[in-house]
Amino acid sequence: MERRATIALATIAVVVLAAAGCGKKKSEKSAESDKSAEMGKTTEGGNTAEAGKTEESGKSGGVDLEVTHWWTSGGEAAAVAEFAKAFDATGNHWVDGAIAGSGDVARPVMISRITGGKPMGATQFNHGKQAEELVQAGLMRDLTDLATKEHWKNIIKPSSLLDSCTLDGKIYCVPVNIHSQQWLWLSNKAFQDAGVPVPTNWDEFVKAAPALEKAGKVPLAQGQQSWQTTLTFQVLLVAIAGPEAYNKVFGEKDKAFAAGPEMAKVFAAADMARKLSAKSTAQEWNQATSMVIKGEAGGQIMGDWARGEFQVAGQVAGKDYTCLPGLGVHEVIQTGGDAFYFPKLQDEAKSKAQETLASVMLSKETQVAFNLKKGSLPVRGDVDLNAADDCMKKGLAILAKGAVIQAPDQLMSPDSNTQINDLFSEFFKTPKMTPAQAQKRFADLVAKAK
Amino acid sequence: MTDRPHRRPRILRNLNAKVASVPMILTALVIFVGGTAWTIVYSFTSSKLLPRLTLVGLQQYDRLWETPRWKVAIENLAIYGVLSLVFQFVIGFLLAALLDRKIRFENTFRTIFLYPFALSFIVTGLIWQWILNPSFGVQAIVRSLGWESFTFNPLYNPDIVIYGVLIAGLWQGTGLVMCIMLAGLRGIDEDIWKAARVDGIPMWKTYVFIVIPMLRPVFVTTVVLIASGIVRVYDLVVAQTSGGPGISSEVPAKYVYDYMFLAQNLGQGFAASTMMLIPVIIVVVPWAYFQFGRKRRG
């Protein structure tokens, strides 16, 4: 009896350990399929995992190229499968190296692989300063020749995207999408249940909050990871103080302005967001989005990648959910996004495959297929986007107007961004920290930022 | 002895043993001491993503001690460290003493107590994250039993989150302490117990005045083991709270990792890890040396 119990316990322990091993493993398909299984979106994850397996066995002819990225939520996995499909169609094989968690988890793994001498075939970064030192150290491949041949300068719009990939006149990465953070996603159902009309801007949203609370809903869903709280703050900054203020703070690092009365309003709004999201217990951004999808929360301030989640859940923009770019106040979008970098490799065939992958990623068909699933905007202006939905059209219109700002990653070093992230994750979970205290510390960080 | 003329110089005596220990000595010198020295040197530089030897003096340390997150981390480490040392020690000893009373099903109990130790900190953290989750953990269960106002969600309350981490740490680590203590108790001669009984000394007095002093070396080993585990606590926090809510459950090791790899500021990470080394050097090393060294001389 006792022995049997022991064996049973041991079995449970082994299973738990194995499961945890999967969860923790920072690479390859197990993480991918694990994550998507958890999300309950077996189709997309299944595809990618499947694709990974066939490539591992290795067909003759093409080259296996490992691509690392941190796209693991349902919508993201569906989008990345489009890249894999397009690349496999060239006769090469996309070996999926999804790293579960967020970019904050994935980037250290990627960087240590590159600096440690075991580079992958290609890797995702947010373009800007994240990979700057890797480029300076000569670890990344120069793509200038390919870029000139394919006229990237003419096709990539807005041109600031390519500028972020450029260092000393040479091009080192392929921008694949434009992501903007400045969105408020609203659940039409939640507002219906609360008996108030769906707001059209931030002020109306704040006014509607008591009604939402009365109906037992969390007014503002907010994930707890530090980048998410910072995102909320940055979006409020652009929406309330306007894009010039954003440029002054993040671009020019103007300390006096950061400590001034204009910014005090932004901190007051952040204080309000903190109160509205006090009951939100979600950790990951997509958990918070799913609160909005289910109508448990009124809204979420999140980048346009949230649109992918609504799409996977089968919701329709304008009918089931509403999106307000720039919180309905200042309609501006950020032109940050994801880019792929190609580490220098010794293997000739693989280097060749890197070029193929780079042109595949920029091709018209892939751009459309990928960005429709991802929720982001394509990096070229000459593609056909009839399939775009309500929210995507809003984004494209703003982009066409040229109302764009640069992403914090393009303006500040990861070090400064981490410090600011720390500050806001503390602010959002420390009710006794006043907006004035937070503003003072923020101004100090801005003054020291690089 | 007649072989005095042939006597080899001191360095060549026990040659086999010395040769055999060379790899370990080299490992210790190159990897531990060398790596540590390298880290300390580079903590005085402004290295970003890649190590660069551009000295900036104490700048990294100044910044470190101005950072609220680092102070929170140190405070958490102090709370976690003191409490987990005390509780692991006391609970571990009590469990061992109880098991030593020749109870029935001793093996079963021992297995149960030791099992958590077979799990990694990551698993422990995840398990306790679920147990303490208010929507389906302890709180939800008690509420479903009818006690509607019951609130127990330490991981979502910034003021007490570190105690939530502490519970998980104790659950995982106490079993090992119990095992070491039990081994120590088993090493106590049966005759001592018999003699104490003949003299009519009450059991608790036997423990406090005779057995515990005899277990001193075991205690030292245990303290060193627990203490080294405390300073490097990282994975438990990552799995359970990832430093949240906000920054209220940050620990120094996590600060080091985040600044080295996430913020791409090696200098800052090295400065923080050098600070982590100091308590180890100041407290653990001389004390362990004193404890173990004295006996050999005696």
Task: Give residue limits of the domains in chain A.
Answer: 26-178+336-397, 183-334+412-448
| Nearest-neighbour CA in chain B from A117: distance (Å) | 13
Place A412 in a pLDDT band, splitting at 50, 70 and 90: confident
Place B94 in a pLDDT band, splitting at 50, 70 and 90: very high
- The reply to whether residue A422 touches residue B123, judged by beta carbons under 8 angstroms, is no
Instruction: Decide yes or no: CATH 3.40.190.10 for domain A26-178+336-397.
Output: yes
Q: Which of A2, A224, A413 sits opposite B244 (nearest CB)?
A: A224
Query: What is this model's ipTM?
Result: 0.75
- The reply to whether residue A224 touches residue B264, judged by beta carbons under 8 angstroms, is no
**If you average pLDDT over residues A14-39, what whole number do you get?**
39
What pLDDT does A68 receive? 93
Minimum mean pLDDT range among A41-55, A367-381, A387-401 = A41-55
Q: Could you identify the residue written with the tokens 């999804």?
A: A98
Check CB contact of A285 with chain B, cutoff 8 Å. no
What pLDDT does A19 receive? 41
Task: Quote the radius of gyration of chain B (alpha carbons, Å).
Answer: 25
- Amino acid B253 reads A
Check CB contact of B234 with chain A, cutoff 8 Å. no
B contacts of A133 (beta carbons < 8 Å): 48-50, 264
pLDDT of A39 higher than 80: no
Check CB contact of A108 with chain B, cutoff 8 Å. yes
Specify the CATH class of A183-334+412-448 in words: alpha beta
What pLDDT does A164 receive? 84
Largest CA distance in chain B: 90
Q: Could you identify the residue written with the tokens 């300068």?
A: A153
| Nearest-neighbour CA in chain A from B101: distance (Å) | 20
Check CB contact of B107 with chain A, cutoff 8 Å. yes
Place B43 in a pLDDT band, splitting at 50, 70 and 90: very high
Whether A26-178+336-397 and A183-334+412-448 share one fold: the answer is yes
| Closest listed residue to residue A337, CA positions, set A365, A377, A295 | A377
**If you average pLDDT over residues A186-190, what whole number do you get?**
92
- The reply to whether residue A419 touches residue B262, judged by beta carbons under 8 angstroms, is no
Q: Length of chain A in residues, anyone?
A: 450
- The reply to whether residue A415 touches residue B261, judged by beta carbons under 8 angstroms, is no
What pLDDT does A53 receive? 40
pTM: 0.76
| Nearest-neighbour CA in chain B from A422: distance (Å) | 7
What pLDDT does A189 receive? 92
Q: For residue range B194-250, what is the model confidence (pLDDT) as tens digits?
A: 998 899 888 888 888 888 888 888 888 888 888 888 888 899 998 888 887 888 899
A contacts of B242 (beta carbons < 8 Å): 224-225, 283
- Calpha distance A131→A69 (Å, rounded): 14
Considering only alpha carbons, which residue of chain B is nearest residue A16? B123
| Nearest-neighbour CA in chain A from B265: distance (Å) | 6
What pLDDT does B294 receive? 61
| Closest listed residue to residue A329, CA positions, set A403, A440, A388 | A403
Considering only alpha carbons, which residue of chain A is nearest residue B118? A13
**If you average pLDDT over residues A97-122, what whole number do you get?**
87
pLDDT of A439 higher than 90: yes
Check CB contact of B262 with chain A, cutoff 8 Å. yes
Pairing of the two strands A404-405 and A333-334: parallel
| Nearest-neighbour CA in chain B from A134: distance (Å) | 8
Minimum mean pLDDT range among A376-380, A384-388, A428-432 = A384-388
Considering only alpha carbons, which residue of chain B is nearest residue A13? B119
Number of neighbours of residue A293 by Cβ within 10 angstroms: 24
Pick the more confident residue, A53 or A340: A340
Going through B62-132 in order, the beta strands assigned E by DSSP cover none
Contact A404, A332 (CB under 8 A): yes
pLDDT of B14 higher than 90: no
**If you average pLDDT over residues A282-288, what whole number do you get?**
84
Place A327 in a pLDDT band, splitting at 50, 70 and 90: confident
- The reply to whether residue A417 touches residue B135, judged by beta carbons under 8 angstroms, is no
The contacts of residue B165 (CB under 8 Å, 6+ apart) are B80, B236, B237, B240, B241, B249
Q: For residue range A204-215, what is the model confidence (pLDDT) as tens digits?
A: 999 999 999 999
A contacts of B156 (beta carbons < 8 Å): 281
Check CB contact of A381 with chain B, cutoff 8 Å. no
B-proximal residues of A, 150-209, CB under 8 Å: none
What pLDDT does B81 receive? 92
pLDDT of A18 higher than 90: no
pLDDT of A113 higher than 50: yes
Q: Which of B242, B248, B261 sits opposite A108 (nearest CB)?
A: B261
Give percent of chain B above pLDDT 90: 31
The contacts of residue A407 (CB under 8 Å, 6+ apart) are A126, A128, A181, A334, A335, A336, A337
A contacts of B116 (beta carbons < 8 Å): none
A contacts of B119 (beta carbons < 8 Å): 13, 16-17
- Output the CA torsion sign for A277, A282, A288, A293: negative
Check CB contact of B54 with chain A, cutoff 8 Å. no
Considering only alpha carbons, which residue of chain B is nearest residue A105? B262
Q: Which of B118, B247, B261 sits opposite A422 (nearest CB)?
A: B247
Give strand pairing partners of A297.
A218
Pairing of the two strands A173-175 and A338-341: antiparallel
A contacts of B261 (beta carbons < 8 Å): 107-108, 111-112
Check CB contact of B108 with chain A, cutoff 8 Å. yes
B contacts of A137 (beta carbons < 8 Å): 49-50
Average pLDDT, chain A: 82
B contacts of A218 (beta carbons < 8 Å): none
- The reply to whether residue A13 touches residue B115, judged by beta carbons under 8 angstroms, is yes
Give strand pairing partners of A93.
A64
Check CB contact of B274 with chain A, cutoff 8 Å. no
A-proximal residues of B, 189-228, CB under 8 Å: none
Q: Which of A284, A429, A440, A445 to probe the B interface (max B CBs under 10 A)?
A: A429
pLDDT of B53 higher than 60: yes
pLDDT of A428 higher than 50: yes
Contact A205, A187 (CB under 8 A): no
**If you average pLDDT over residues B37-48, what whole number do you get?**
91
- The reply to whether residue B262 touches residue A414, judged by beta carbons under 8 angstroms, is yes
Name the phi and psi angles at A90, rounded to 5. -85, 0
- Amino acid A7 reads I
What pLDDT does A29 receive? 37
Give percent of chain A above pLDDT 90: 31
Check CB contact of A9 with chain B, cutoff 8 Å. yes
Check CB contact of A287 with chain B, cutoff 8 Å. no
What pLDDT does B133 receive? 83
Q: Residue A430 CA to chain centroid, in angstroms?
A: 26
